[in-house]
């Protein structure tokens, strides 16, 4: 009889690596992995706490994870046989990459396949905040719309406005293209490293220091990766630099924004509006954000189209299969593990 977090599968073969698929995923992905591995999956989609995750990883050479599974030094220490962690996400702040590297464990992610979908959603969130869509929909649903008024839910224009992008990687550049080429926006950005001149020219983007970016942006979009250095990159001091008419959109990671400080800024109308797909401590949302009207809130769904989620699952599976069959995975996060001869030898 199986436990509550696993599905029935055939007896383990000594010649096939065992892997854990930590969350529910497309059945086709599971079937594909079963052609290569002994698979323990989680069709009930239970969220594993740290101890449960470590227990389910026992005897597994590989793990197919999402952002909800924390692979840290303790989990790795309990599972010295683990060789590969394939994350079904472009972000990997749920994985302690230095700890993985120290133990010769390869980590992989799923970049590129979600770039355009996430950029679509980020732009949609920005527009929803600028045009007060969530506020006006709630107003309508409450039955409060009884007449037209010249100033009813007046927001701010997107076309021709200044789009500020903090973090100018793949997704940031995709958002810049939408703004500059589709909406005639003036694009300014800040990044750890400046883009090549020809890339800036193609995006019609101008590099600014962070403080100037915050002061000039009509609509600020955050797409930088989460790290200890980017924790609370936007807090009370940064929000104080922004225009009172500005909006802030976060499709990056929770923790980049100090959610309590943002709620206070929204409540005090120090900025006009915000749109958030990610939250510090998610799936919990800071209660102050739930209490302010001028914020659009979505549950981490920027990459949520069927085609894109399938592509993410496929790439995570590609990485896991390649790594455990002696091939080079398409998108390693710590390729130095492979350079040092890590993972499994070819069969």
For the chain, the domains span: 18-111+306-339, 115-297
Q: Is 300 a catalytic residue?
A: yes
Asked if domains 18-111+306-339 and 115-297 share a fold, the reply is yes
- Note the pLDDT of residue 342: 82
pLDDT at residue number 344: 66
Question: What radius of gyration, in Å, describes the C-alpha atoms of the chain?
Answer: 22
Exposure letters 82-112 (e unless 16+ CB within 10 A, then b): bbbbbbbbbbbbbbbbebbbebbbbbbbbbe
Report whether CATH 3.40.50.720 matches the domain 18-111+306-339: yes
Q: Give 316's DSSP letter.
A: H
Is 190 labeled as catalytic in the residue annotation? no
Looking at residue 3, what is its pLDDT?
A: 41
User: What CATH number does the domain located at 115-297 have?
Assistant: 3.40.50.720
Marked catalytic residue, from 253, 280, 286, 309 = 253
> What three-state secondary structure class fits 222?
strand
The token duo for 90 is 């472009």
- 52-91, pLDDT tens digit by residue? 999 999 999 999 999 999 999 999 999 999 999 999 999 9
Q: Which residues of the chain have pLDDT under 70?
A: 1-14, 344-347
What pTM did the predictor assign? 0.90
The active-site residue out of 78, 116, 200, 282 is: 282
Q: Cα dihedral sign for 238, 242, 245, 251? A: negative
Q: Which of these is catalytic: 46, 70, 103, 300?
A: 300
Helix (H) / strand (E) element for 166: namely strand 162-166
């Amino acid at each position: 009889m199986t436990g509550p977090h696993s599905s029935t599968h055939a007896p383990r073969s000594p010649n096939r690596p065992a892997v854990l698929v930590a969350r529910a995923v497309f059945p086709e992905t599971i079937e594909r992995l079963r052609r290569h591995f002994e698979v323990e999956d989680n069709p009930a989609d239970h969220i594993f706490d740290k101890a449960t995750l470590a227990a389910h990883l026992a005897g597994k050479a590989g793990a197919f994870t999402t952002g909800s599974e924390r692979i840290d030094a303790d989990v790795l220490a309990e599972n010295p046989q683990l060789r590969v962690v394939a994350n079904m996400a472009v972000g990997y702040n749920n994985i302690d990459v230095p700890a993985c590297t120290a133990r010769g464990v390869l980590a992989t992610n799923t970049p590129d396949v979600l770039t355009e979908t996430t950029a679509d959603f980020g732009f949609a969130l920005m527009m929803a905040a600028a045009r007060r869509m969530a506020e006006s929909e709630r107003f309508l649903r409450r039955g409060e719309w009884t007449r037209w008024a010249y100033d009813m839910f007046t927001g701010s224009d997107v076309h021709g406005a200044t789009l500020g992008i903090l973090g100018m990687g793949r997704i940031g550049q995709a958002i810049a293209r939408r703004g500059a080429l589709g909406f005639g926006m003036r694009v300014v950005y800040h990044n750890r490293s400046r883009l090549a001149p020809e890339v800036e020219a193609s995006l019609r983007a101008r590099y600014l220091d962070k403080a100037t970016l915050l002061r000039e942006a009509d609509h600020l979009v955050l797409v930088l990766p989460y790290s200890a250095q980017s924790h609370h990159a936007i807090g009370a001091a940064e929000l104080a630099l922004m225009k009172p008419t500005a909006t802030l959109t976060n499709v990056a990671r929770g923790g980049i924004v100090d959610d309590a400080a943002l709620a206070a800024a929204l409540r005090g109308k120090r900025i006009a509006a915000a749109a958030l797909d990610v939250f510090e401590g998610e799936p919990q949302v800071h209660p102050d954000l739930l209490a302010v009207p001028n914020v659009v809130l979505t549950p981490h769904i920027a990459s949520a189209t069927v085609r894109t989620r399938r592509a993410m699952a496929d790439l995570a599976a590609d990485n896991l299969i390649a790594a455990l069959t002696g091939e080079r995975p398409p998108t390693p996060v710590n390729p130095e593990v492979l350079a040092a001869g890590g993972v499994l030898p070819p069969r």
